[in-house]
Structure 1
Amino acid sequence: MLAEIVTVMIMAFAVSMDAFSISIGMGAYKIRLRQIFYIGLVVGIFHLLMPLLGIFAGHLLSGTFGGIAIYIGGILLIILGLQMVLTIFRSDAGSTFMPVGWGVLLFSFLVSIDSFSAGLSLGIFGAKAALAVICFSAMSVGMTWCGLLIGRKMQNMLGVYGELLGGIILIAYGIKLLVPFPW
């Protein structure tokens, strides 16, 4: 049982790394602590629901739907990153995407796509699946909070360059989803 918990925690850590890295980029927006708390919880809920949906979808859909979802996520991340970079050069400082409201839902969906794929690979029901989704959710909440706090601190230190770095991180992760690297 302990070996199973350790294995699931390692898998949860791996699945949450994208939430962490993208959160660093999103933290470049001037996000309040209350928003960071809320965003982390929403990401955690998505990391609970997506693997469950993946388990229910089963192995039949994994080849087709899982691949399509990754490409859509990659394209959306590139668009969000480009939009973030372009707002730096606009005279009106407003942004069309902010990590509030629907933006939080979109962000949470994007960082939980790999949890859907992990759920497809689990393909089982019962205690093991319940343990996995709880671990995925808890780990993603913590990793998201850490990433957003680090990004927020970087934004305060770097100013506009922090937002530029955040946009570049989003673009790079989107490209990573679209173009598989051999390493």
Structure 2
Amino acid sequence: MSFLTLIILAVALGTDAFSLCLGIGIAGVNRRQMLLISITVLVFHIFMPLAGWYTGELAGNLLGRAASVIGSALLVYLGFKMIWETVRNGRETEIKVFKFNALGLVLLGASVSMDALSVGFTLGAQQVDLLRTAATIGLVAGVMTAAGLLFGRYMSRLVGERAQFLGGVILVGIGVKLFF
């Protein structure tokens, strides 16, 4: 696999993380959270292709669907909660910093990296340098995650009072997309 092909693959795998983190950034994150989320996604995007390579298709399909459903449900719940808080208050809401605990970070990382697990299965049949490929996928996903969070924070300042509502809509949309 050429380096250009690898970069294109890595960007394609990082788009879910970018779009999800755009919504999270709009909801509000601090620098520490941005770093934790970016590193979590980076690690999962390295681990998942390796796990896909070593586990086999059956285990991957079972794990992939369960993690996808849980991650999707979490995003839809968080998105609706953000929308409800905005609608309920009916005025400008104070933009709160998005809160994640360890389980939330793991679910976030797993939900946006399930496609990398599938790619790992495919890479197992190809003659590629798996460690270089997984590291490149992880680095690109980490950078795209940070970019989504930064851009989301910027958008939050631009859209002001509707930032929480917009962030909620984005999270619900991504959660529904990941479910189907």
TM-score when normalising by structure 2: 0.82
What residue identity is the alignment partner of 2:115? D
Q: Give the stretch that moved more between structures: 78-87 or 7-16.
A: 78-87
Task: Report the Cα distance in structure 2 between the residues aligned to 1:138 and 1:15, rounded to whole angstroms.
Answer: 11
Q: Which residue of 1 aligns with 2:105?
A: 104
- Deviation string for 1:16-61 (max 9, x for gaps)? 0000000000002332223212321121111111221121111343
Note if contact 2:23-2:170 (Cα within 8 Å) is conserved in structure 1: yes
Flag as ranges the 4+ runs of structure 1 deviating above 4 A.
89-95, 124-127
Identity of aligned residues (%): 34
Any unmatched runs of 5+ in structure 1? none
Q: Which residue of 2 aligns with 1:165?
A: 166
TM-score when normalising by structure 1: 0.81
Q: Which residue of 2 aligns with 1:48?
A: 46
Residue correspondences, number: 177
Q: Give the stretch that moved more between structures: 100-109 or 141-150.
A: 100-109
Distance verdict in 2 for CA 1:109–1:62, change over 3 Å: closer
Q: Give the stretch that moved more between structures: 75-84 or 144-153.
A: 75-84
Task: Report the Cα distance in structure 1 between the residues aligned to 2:12 and 2:53, rounded to whole angstroms.
Answer: 18
Q: Give the stretch that moved more between structures: 52-61 or 147-156.
A: 52-61
Matches within 5 A, 1:1-183: 3-89=1-87, 98-99=99-100, 101-123=102-124, 128-179=129-180
Task: Report the Cα distance in structure 2 between the residues aligned to 1:167 and 1:83, rounded to whole angstroms.
Answer: 7
